[in-house]
Each structure stands twice: as structure tokens, then as C-alpha cells.
Structure 1
Amino acid sequence: MVIVIQIEPARQDDVLELIAASDAYMASLYPAESNHMIDIDELERADFRLFVARDNGKLVGCGGWKKTGQDTAEIKRMFVSPSARGSGIGRRLLHAIEADALAAGIQLIQLETGVSQPEALGLYRRQGYHEREAFPPYAADPLSVFMERQLSDGKPNNP
């Protein structure tokens, strides 16, 4: 396994297919009003950085961060293909996202995920994220879990 994680454009056939798989997975878990995914146009905005993970060139995961304030950002579009889950790709993507955000001056990184995703919740908790109340633009939702992590806390994020 040779994993390469880097920033790439969203409008590539394999990236679009992975995003469609992510959309279908989320739609199978949650009603539309509890899905808070951003579309391809938002992935191409200047305030969004999309990372992709490739195993020997094959796309196996993606995720990125969106600037939401002077020193805050939100993680969006984290998804690892089912065939690659359990191999540490999600953790490696998360570390790349955090390092890039910190280098850009982000101090606090937040995310919204769902109650029906225990693997994602476990990953975020192991990496130092803790639960919090809903943050803008979200409203409280019993199917959502809101989390955050101080990037500037001086603690390593368990590579």
C-alpha cells in the first residue's frame, strides 16, 4: 500500500464518483434535513481545501476544510471508500487537513457528523475532538454530533 495524500481539484471523475458514493451512504443513514453536505461548487471555492488519498493512484478517500472565521474552520466531506476502511486512511487524511489548516492560521477546527457513524465518532474522539453544542450555521439536531479541537493546544494528534 502506497498512500499519497494531497490537495487536488474536485472536478475529476474519480473524485466525483467518491462524492456520489458518500452522498448515497449519508442518504441511507439520515433524512435529507439532517444531511449537511456541501456540493461540488463549494468544494471549488477559494475558502475550501480538498485533500484526496490515493493508494497506488486509486482514489480511496477525501476530506477537506473550509474557513469559517478568522481563525476557525470546519471539516467537510470526510469519506473513505468502504474497501479502504480500517487501514488508517481516515486518520492520515485528518492529520493532513489539520496540519494544513494550522499552517493557514486556523486555531479551532470544528465538524458535524452523525450519530449513526460510530467509526467516524471514534476516529474524531481518538484524535482529540470533543463534543460541543451546534455551531453556526447549524441548528441542534438529534441525529447530529458537533465536535471541535483546538489545533493550537500544543498536543500532538496521535500520528
Structure 2
Amino acid sequence: MPIEIKVDDVSSPDMLALLQVHADLMLSLSPPGSCHFLPAEGLRSPDVTVWSMWDDRSLVGCGALKDLSDGTGEVKSMHTKSDLRGQGYGRRMLEHIMMEAGRRNYSALYLETGSMVGFLPARRIYESYGFRYCGPFGDYALDPNSVFMHRPL
């Protein structure tokens, strides 16, 4: 069965459990004041679209796109189950988000991720898709535990 990516309402027990794993991981890698993940309630905001990724009826990952209301978007909540990392699921989700941003005619995508070593694999994926480092955007402030990235579309 091929990978299926579908809009998710962030209500199923599987999705809520995956988001809790994501939150726990982010909190284990970053000081609380430097964690910018959206909790389930935040992902249900009208300006955020969430996708779940399924492989053979098993939830394998998720990602989200936040509309920044200025013709750009922010990549949020990218997560792949730990035992499945390195198999291309994160890349598939990022490609999906980038395609949707293009469909929405966004001029650019932004993201915030951690500056610590634990976030290096994510930063390398983003770099490979043309994201470049930039200063804080939106409501973010300069933080030594965060890096900010931007990609024109």
C-alpha cells in the first residue's frame, strides 16, 4: 500500500499520542522557554492545516503548515516515529507541505527549529530542500536555542 498523506483533525488517539511523543522529544532537547511546538489545541487553529502520514494503515508521521497571513507559511510539527526515521517519511511530508504552499501561492516558507545537535538531522533535510538560515520572523525572538530558516517559493 502506498503512503497516504491526509488532512487530520487532530482528534484520533493515534494522532494525539504521536503529538505527545513529539512534544516530549522537543522538551527533552530544548529548554521549555525555547520550545515552540504547537500543542494539539494550537494545531486545531483555523490558520493551521495538519496532515497525518500513513503507511499500510499505520500512522508514521505528521506535519503542519501555518498561514502567516502575509502570503507566506510556516512549517510546523514535522515528526516521524523514531523507529522509522531515515526512510524518507520526513522528506515526503516536507515535499507535501511545499507543494501545498505552492498551491496556495505563498511566496515563501519559514520554519523554526532547535540549534542543538539533536536537531541537526532536521536542519540537514531543510537545507537539502533549499531552506537557508535567516533571522527571527513573525512573533519569534532571537534565541540561542533556535535557528530560523526561510525558502522562497
Give yes or no for the alignment of 1:71 onto 2:63.
no
1:7-30: CA deviation from partner (whole Å, max 9, x where unpaired):
121111111000000011111111
SS at match of 2:86: coil
- 2:136 alignment partner, one of 134, 137, 143: 134
Q: 1:121 maps to what in 2? A: 123
Distance 1:92 1:145 in 2: 22
* Greater mean alpha carbon deviation, residues 37-46 or residues 11-20: 37-46
Give the total of aligned pairs.
151
* Greater mean alpha carbon deviation, residues 38-47 or residues 139-148: 38-47
Distance 2:37 2:56 in 1: 28
What's the TM-score once normalised by structure 1's chain length? 0.91
Structure 1 position 105, deviation (Å): 2.0
* Amino acid across the alignment from 1:27: L
Give yes or no for the alignment of 1:20 onto 2:20.
yes
* Amino acid across the alignment from 2:102: L
* Contact 2:114/2:147 (8 A) holds in 1: yes
Structure 1 position 69, deviation (Å): 2.2
Distance 1:24 1:41 in 2: 16
What's the TM-score once normalised by structure 2's chain length? 0.94
Unmatched 5+ stretches in structure 1:
152-159
Q: 1:105 maps to what in 2? A: 105
SS at match of 1:137: coil
Identity of aligned residues (%): 34
RMSD: 1.1
SS at match of 1:75: strand
